[in-house]
Amino acid sequence: MRARLIYNPTSGHETLPHSVGDILNVLEEAGYEASAYRTTAKKKSALKEARRVAQEGFDLVVAAGGDGTINEVINGIADLEKRPEMAIIPAGTTNDYARALKIPRDDVVEAAKVVLKKQKLDVDIGQAGEHYFINIAGGGSMTELTYEVPSAYKSILGYLAYLVKGAELLPRISPIDMHIEYDDGVFDGKATMFLIGLTNSIGGMEQIAPNSVIGDGTFSLIIVKETNLRDLVHLITLVLNGGRHVDNPKVIYTKTKEITVKANDDNRIMINLDGEYGGDAPMKFKNLHNHVRMYANVDSIPLKALDTRSDEEKDVGEKIIEEEKHLD
């Protein structure tokens, strides 16, 4: 079996390159013939390498870096008929996806050792137009702060960089008039933001989508209606106090398989995919069920966050959903 480590040397505090040898040793111990690729400053470097090794028949691709690096690797393999298995080694700022999979986030070699446990999940990914995402998509003025945090700040300050920038931008946040269609309804009006999650970990917090289930074939959709600064502070407080924001009248919270977003009038809605700019609305989002097999610390993930149905039960569920669609 062959494994390719694709690592971003600038992620986190730029210490990842010093651990590449140790990571490769772990992969060899797990039974893989392992090699490494250091990403470059060229656009889509990680994406192109992931696609190349997938087409060459590699069995495993290991994405080492931040959420952006993981997103690139996913985009390199998502549309292929035969996809390699994946593992991730978090070395970025928020590391949301690693948090959800309970992969160690403070030691890259320990993160690599998750492969030794041979525990895997079939995970969903999201398709947004021609692009893909693995953890979170969103739009609205609150989601745009990600683009305004310089890379140098991220390397030096980590997650604190987002908090500092977020505090600076809060007074400038204004709602956008938008139209959002989802499985069970339609929202038409002004919203501060919308979020589409595949796990419960968004922006470093695990209570934003409290009933999110990995691999169940649905997104968690959160729409924050028109709010002022006081409303936003209150909602953040509710998030931190057990995810109680989902019951607030300013919030729509639901599960859905597909979402369509477009702007009303001449408004611009920039779409954020795993923390990176992914184009403008109109945009259609589709859940690709169990699309990638991923190494994870499965025995450390709460059962309520996992889809524990058998393959047969999942197939029956899919058939029922399709029949209901035809009846509609």
Question: Rounded to the nearest 10 degrees, what angle do helices 45-55 and 67-77 cross at?
Answer: 40
Q: Which of 29, 276, 318, 323 is catalytic?
A: 276
In the chain, what are the domains?
Answer: 2-118 (3.40.50.10330), 136-288 (2.60.200.40)
What was the pLDDT predicted at 142? 61
Contact 235, 170 (CB under 8 A): no
What was the pLDDT predicted at 163? 46
Which runs of E-coded beta strand occur in the chain? 2-7, 33-38, 60-65, 85-90, 120-128, 131-133, 136-140, 176-182, 185-197, 219-225, 251-256, 258-263, 270-273, 276-280, 283-295
What was the pLDDT predicted at 158? 46
CA distances in angstroms from 191 to 27, 95, 218, listed in the order given: 46, 27, 22
What was the pLDDT predicted at 170? 62
Q: Rounded to two decimals, what is the model's pTM? A: 0.85
Burial class (CB in 10 A: 0-12, 13-18, 19+), 83: middle
Residue numbers of the chain with a pLDDT score lower than 50? 152-164, 316, 320-321, 324-325
What was the pLDDT predicted at 315? 56
Question: Catalytic: 276?
Answer: yes
What was the pLDDT predicted at 171? 63
CA distance 146 to 167: 12
Per-residue pLDDT tens for 48-89?
A: 999 999 999 999 999 999 888 999 999 999 999 999 999 999
CA distance 287 to 124: 7
